[in-house]
């Protein structure tokens, strides 16, 4: 349920994102989730990848600044109200959602969520009787 997210700081100009993605692909690292926030001169690219340790090393070798953080990977049914249910449980436990991004298909979705207390969030969201990680 807890994933390692990589935040990469890139120049905000044509081709820079393509180069970063190509670098990961050339090293057999798959992108499972992505979010991009921009400012005038740079972008913050948040990634969930198949091999975060390798990605940190590879991107660092190519001169990119990478910061690692923990995020929750919520696997939700693709039904109205499922995200609201999870967010409500976190709110009642006083766990703040700082940001989120994700996608879904016709049966389920994955939402990556940065929260104020990941361990507490896992405990709150784990099904009753399940082992907490």
Helix residue spans in 27-79 (DSSP H): 52-61
pLDDT, tens digit (0-9, with 9 covering 90-100), for 32-79: 999 999 888 899 999 999 999 999 999 999 999 999 999 999 999 988
130 vs 13, which has greater pLDDT? 13
CB 81 within 8 A of CB 88: no
In a 13 Å sphere around the CA of 80, the CA atoms on its Cβ side amount to 0
Sheet architecture: strand order including 2-11: 31-38, 42-49, 2-11, 65-77, 108-115, 97-104
- Encode pLDDT of 111-121 as tens digits: 999 999 999 99
pLDDT above 60 for 132: no
């Amino acid at each position: 349920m807890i994933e390692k997210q990589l935040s990469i700081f890139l120049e905000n100009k044509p081709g820079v994102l393509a180069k970063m993605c190509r670098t990961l692909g050339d090293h057999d690292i798959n992108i499972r989730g992505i979010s991009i926030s921009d400012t005038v001169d740079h972008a913050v690219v948040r990634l969930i990848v198949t091999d975060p340790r390798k990605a940190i090393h590879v991107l660092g070798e190519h001169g990119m600044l990478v910061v690692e953080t923990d995020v929750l990977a919520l696997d939700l049914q693709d039904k109205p109200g499922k995200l609201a249910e999870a967010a409500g449980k976190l709110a009642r436990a006083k766990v703040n959602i700082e940001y989120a991004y994700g996608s879904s298909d016709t049966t389920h979705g994955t939402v990556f969520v940065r929260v104020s207390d990941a361990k507490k969030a896992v405990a709150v969201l784990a099904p009753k009787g399940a082992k907490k990680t």
